[in-house]
Structure 1
Amino acid sequence: MKVCIEWIYKTPKGAETTFRSGEMPAAQGLLFAEDMERTGRAKHVIFIDSYNITWTVKEMKAYLKEVETEPHNITVYFDGGFDRATSQSGLGCVIYYEQSGKSYRLRKNAFSAELKSNNEAEYAALYLGLVELELLNVHHLPIRIIGDSQVVINQLNGDWPALEKDLVSWADKIDEKLKELGIKPEYELVSRKSNTEADRLATQALNGIDITAMSEIVTE
């Protein structure tokens, strides 16, 4: 979760004014807020998240402590591929997250012979990612969802209307799953070049290679 910090600054002579920071990760924001409070000149320090919800310092401490042992700071990449010649699809998703002070990557793909278009495959790939989040027991968190499908990202963002019956059905299915898990999605459209991991997984599924892999990300 990313937040802005808002606080009232009081000078030694009693003059006051309000400041607001730029956006930053919640854990980093808490460090700044606690340091400002120690100066004795910052009053009424609050956090404002991307949904314009306000948090006190006490509430933010409790939230960060609660999510530390659960998956958080989650990003989902998805991609779907459709072979017109065979009417077969490959689905791929990559999930990055943190848990108990460590970073992880989950890769998952799936094959399907039931979809009718590339756009359906893209939607199905995203749904595959949401099912994996459910298996990780992810709930009531903001999640970044990244893909290179203009149709899926813009339709789920509400920027484009979903007119095809099959795509409307997928969009509704995804919205229902997000609501069920209490997930607040933040959609991001990227180039195909920036989505190579999920694309590779989708291609491997089309080629009959099943992948389910979890790994810890170790930084030196």
Structure 2
Amino acid sequence: MNVLIEWTYKSPKGSGTVFRSEEMPAEKALLIVEDLEKTGRVKDVVFIDQFDTSWMVKELKGYLKGIETEPHNVKVYFDGGFDIATSKAGLGCVIYYEQSGKSYRLRRNAVLTNLVSNNEAEYAALHLALLELELLEVHHLPVQFIGDSQVVINHMSEEWPVIEKDLSVWANKIDEKLKVLGIQAAYKLVPRKSNTEADRLATQALNDIEITAKSEQMG
């Protein structure tokens, strides 16, 4: 989880002002606050996450301790492709997460035959990622979903209304799954070149190459 730090600085003569840091991992933010507090001039420290929720020092430490052995700091890349000639959809997702002090990457793809468009394939890829998060027992955490589909990202972040009935069904299905898992979703649109792993998995699915792989990421 990324947070920013907000604190009040008190000068020796009693004047003060409020400072706000850039966004950073929560673990790093706690270390910085510990260092700041050694000056004796820092008051009213709070951490603010990407959903504008405020955390006190003890609350954030307790939260991080509680999730240490569970998957956390989760980042999901997803992509879908559709072959009009065969009416097949290839889905791909890559999930990065941390657990028990280690970093992991999970890659998964799948093929579907009952879709009708590339936009549907993109939605189905996001839904596939959610099913994988459920299997990992990711719950009640902030998760960042990253994709190159303007339609899906802008629909799910509520930048655009969902008009098409087929896509609305997918959007509702995804919202329901997010609610069940208690996941706080944040969406990020990236260029296609920044989503090559998920794109490759989707293409491999279209070529009937099935992949399910988990690996530890070395620093």
State the TM bucket, normalised to the shorter chain: over 0.9
Q: Which residue of 2 aligns with 1:61?
A: 61
Say if 2:18 is the partner of 1:18.
Answer: yes
| Structure 2 CA distance for aligned equivalents of residues 52 and 194 of structure 1 | 27
| Structure 1 CA distance for aligned equivalents of residues 19 and 189 of structure 2 | 32
Task: Name the amino acid aligned to 2:199.
Answer: D
Unaligned runs of 5+ in 1: none
* Structure 1 residues 195-206: aligned runs within 5 Å: 195-206=195-206
Q: Which residue of 1 aligns with 2:112?
A: 112
Say if 2:9 is the partner of 1:40.
Answer: no
TM-superposed deviation, 1:86: 1.1
TM-superposed deviation, 1:68: 1.5
Q: Which residue of 1 aligns with 2:91?
A: 91
Q: Which residue of 2 aligns with 1:78?
A: 78
Q: Which residue of 2 aligns with 1:49?
A: 49
Deviation string, structure 1 residues 175-206 (Cα, Å, up to 9, x no partner) = 11111111111111111111111111111111
Give aligned-pair identity as a percent.
69
TM-score normalized by structure 2?
A: 0.96
Tell me which stretches of 4 or more aligned residues in structure 1 moved more than 6 Å: none
- After the TM superposition, which of the residue ranges 12-21 and 126-135 deviates more from structure 2? 12-21
Q: What is the SS of the residue equivalent to 2:195?
A: helix
| Structure 1 CA distance for aligned equivalents of residues 186 and 38 of structure 2 | 34
Task: Name the amino acid aligned to 2:20.
Answer: R
CA RMSD, 1 decimal: 1.1
Q: Which residue of 2 aligns with 1:136?
A: 136
TM-score normalized by structure 1?
A: 0.96
Task: Name the amino acid aligned to 2:16.
Answer: E
| Structure 2 CA distance for aligned equivalents of residues 116 and 78 of structure 1 | 18
Q: Which residue of 1 aligns with 2:161?
A: 161
TM-superposed deviation, 1:39: 2.0
| Structure 1 CA distance for aligned equivalents of residues 53 and 77 of structure 2 | 26
- After the TM superposition, which of the residue ranges 45-54 and 103-112 deviates more from structure 2? 45-54
Say if 2:193 is the partner of 1:193.
Answer: yes
Deviation string, structure 1 residues 86-113 (Cα, Å, up to 9, x no partner) = 1111111000111111110000001111
| Structure 2 CA distance for aligned equivalents of residues 61 and 155 of structure 1 | 34
Unaligned runs of 5+ in 2: none
Deviation string, structure 1 residues 13-36 (Cα, Å, up to 9, x no partner) = 322222221221111111111111
TM-superposed deviation, 1:157: 1.3
Q: What is the SS of the residue equivalent to 1:39?
A: coil
- After the TM superposition, which of the residue ranges 122-131 and 40-49 deviates more from structure 2? 40-49
TM-superposed deviation, 1:58: 0.6
| Structure 1 CA distance for aligned equivalents of residues 103 and 74 of structure 2 | 10
| Structure 1 CA distance for aligned equivalents of residues 86 and 147 of structure 2 | 24
| Structure 2 CA distance for aligned equivalents of residues 178 and 73 of structure 1 | 16
